[in-house]
């Protein structure tokens, strides 16, 4: 896992948008994978990314004609014409403003007569498309990705899920603040569906996401924080703004900041190019030889910071392809 820190939500979103543009424009189609497969989220967090991608399209930096999208989730019981359905959300905020082929837009149908069959079909469509190349996602305040709420199986696939009261309360802002209007169930891709993607990029911004970021980055892998599964992904990235780092250890922030600095200063290829200023907290760069209580040990962190040679050798842990310049009756939900 890599942690990318930017000063503001706008800088974090622009960083991701620039990378998506690069990945799509440099994608090499093959007979088995003729289209770039992109997993997409909904909610307020990715809106700046969508705006930046629309701007890139309007300035002729990218075309989406050879992109197929798979959305993470959809509410159960809301017709697609409902203003708060994710089908409407995606078309209003993104699809209606770009040149994507409508037949390449894949969104779960929350009003399907057979919801388990709808979920199975969605998984089959992902497989038929050659798998997802890059899955973009957000994270909930309790650390969930997509609608994989705490307690979700880490081997789960697309399925029906009950929403927690915390998620319902958080989403009430989209339903005039009335929690009674928020659907209690949703269809969602599973944790394993996301993990099968070749790349996963998660955006987390704001102080409300700080605890989730801490548990996902510094905590152990757990079904109680499904964001933490990215620790096991070979190309998993969490992009945050400064506020979202509020609960992280200082040494954790320093480590990931130093890794990015090393990549930029050294001849290390295969990483993402930052397009906005790197967040560089003013930290004490002296590393104590004795680990403090509750801090990461020298073996896991400070040894990489103290030895420039070791840091360079071990910093490029994820082989990104981007070169770096040196300067119905309600069914029973599953876990």
Phi-psi label, residue 14: left if phi above 0, alpha if psi -120 to 50, beta otherwise: alpha
- Residue 103 CB neighbours (<10 A): 7
> How far apart are the C-alpha atoms of 138 and 155, rounded to whole Å?
19
The residue with tokens 């102080």 is 207
Q: Is the dihedral of CA 281, 283, 285, 288 positive or negative?
A: negative
Could you tell me the end-to-end alpha-carbon distance of the chain, in angstroms, rounded to an integer?
25
For residue 177, give the H/E element and its range.
Answer: none
Burial of 8 (0-12, 13-18, 19+ CB in 10 A): middle
Contacts of 197 (CB under 8 A, 6+ apart): 39, 131, 132, 133, 134, 135
Residue 241: beta bridge partners? 6
> How far apart are the C-alpha atoms of 97 and 51, rounded to whole Å?
9
Q: Which two tokens stand for residue 184?
A: 């209690």
Which residues are known catalytic residues?
Answer: 73, 142, 144, 149
> How far apart are the C-alpha atoms of 94 and 133, rounded to whole Å?
19
């Amino acid at each position: 896992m890599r942690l990318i820190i930017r000063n503001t939500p706008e800088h974090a979103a622009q960083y991701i948008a620039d990378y998506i543009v690069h990945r799509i424009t440099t994608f090499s189609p093959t007979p088995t994978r003729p289209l770039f497969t992109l997993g997409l989220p909904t909610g307020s967090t990715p809106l700046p990314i969508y705006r930046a991608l629309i701007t890139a399209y309007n300035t002729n930096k990218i075309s989406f004609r050879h992109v197929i999208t798979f959305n993470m989730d959809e509410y159960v019981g809301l017709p697609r014409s409902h203003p708060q359905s994710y089908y409407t959300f995606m078309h209003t905020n993104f699809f209606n403003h770009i040149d994507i082929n409508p037949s390449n837009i894949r969104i779960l149908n929350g009003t399907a007569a057979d919801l388990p069959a709808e979920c199975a079909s969605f998984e089959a469509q992902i497989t038929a498309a050659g798998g997802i190349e890059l899955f973009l996602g957000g994270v909930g305040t309790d650390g969930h990705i997509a609608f994989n709420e705490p307690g979700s199986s880490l081997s789960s696939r697309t399925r029906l899920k009950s929403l927690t009261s915390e998620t319902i309360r958080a989403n009430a802002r989209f339903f005039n603040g009335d929690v009674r209007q928020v659907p209690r169930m949703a269809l969602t891709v599973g944790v394993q569906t996301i993990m099968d993607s070749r790349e996963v990029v998660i955006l987390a911004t704001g102080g409300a996401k700080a605890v989730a970021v801490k548990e996902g980055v510094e905590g152990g892998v757990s079904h109680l924080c499904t964001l933490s599964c990215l620790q096991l992904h070979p190309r998993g990235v969490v992009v945050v703004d400064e506020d979202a780092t509020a609960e992280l250890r200082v040494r954790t922030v320093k480590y990931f900041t130093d890794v990015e600095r090393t990549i930029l200063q050294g001849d290390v290829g295969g990483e993402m190019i930052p397009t906005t200023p790197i967040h560089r907290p003013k930290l004490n760069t002296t590393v104590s030889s004795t680990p403090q209580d509750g801090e990461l040990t020298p073996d896991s962190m400070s040894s990489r910071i103290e030895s420039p040679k070791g840091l360079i050798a071990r910093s490029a842990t994820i082989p990104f392809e981007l070169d770096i310049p040196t300067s119905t009756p309600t069914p029973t939900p599953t876990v």
